[in-house]
């Protein structure tokens, strides 16, 4: 099995920055796409950013230009640099990873990000 552990969440004022990290461990030796998702109270979970094993990235329109996703394949980690944070970014942020085996889809426990106005 694969475990994902997020870190780096917290409380920050609008306009500030946070860096989230996610470390993967377990029985797989390679991960395919990794990404970050978020869910605010009363709302559906939404995609924030993804990055493939080869480094191709995709961002939600709401965060494009402000957030940057990166990964270290040797360490099986994925990061999310969040700049110019807005109160609308407040949510629980979840790390996700897929393997190269069908059905390999893993989620972290989430980390809270709160942006005050």
Enumerate the β-bridge partners of residue 67.
82
Tens of pLDDT along the chain (117 residues) come to: 789 999 999 999 999 999 999 999 987 667 899 999 999 999 999 999 999 988 999 999 999 999 999 998 888 899 999 999 999 999 999 999 998 888 889 999 999 999 999
Tokens (6 digits) for 86:
């807005």
Cβ neighbours of residue 1 under 8 Å, at least 6 residues apart?
Answer: 26, 27
Cβ neighbours of residue 22 under 8 Å, at least 6 residues apart?
Answer: 4, 5, 6, 7, 34, 36, 77, 78, 79, 95, 97, 108
Element at 69 (helix H, strand E): strand 67-72
Question: What distance in Å separates the CA atoms of residue 80 and residue 69, rounded to the nearest whole number?
Answer: 5
- DSSP letters, 10-22, are EEEETT--EEEEE
Backbone phi and psi for residue 87, each to the nearest 5 degrees, phi listed first: -55, -30
pLDDT at 79: 97
Q: How many CB atoms lie within 10 A of CB 52?
A: 15
């Amino acid at each position: 099995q694969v475990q994902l552990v997020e870190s780096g969440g917290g409380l920050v004022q609008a306009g500030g920055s946070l860096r989230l990290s996610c470390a993967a461990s377990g029985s797989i030796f390679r991960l395919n796409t990794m990404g970050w998702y978020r869910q605010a109270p009363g709302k559906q979970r939404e995609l924030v950013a993804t990055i493939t094993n080869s480094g191709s990235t995709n961002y939600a329109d709401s965060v494009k230009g402000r957030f940057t996703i990166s990964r270290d394949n040797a360490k099986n980690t994925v990061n999310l640099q969040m700049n110019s944070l807005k109160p609308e970014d407040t949510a629980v942020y979840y790390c996700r990873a897929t393997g190269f085996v069908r059905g390999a889809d893993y989620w972290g426990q989430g980390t809270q990000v709160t942006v005050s106005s």
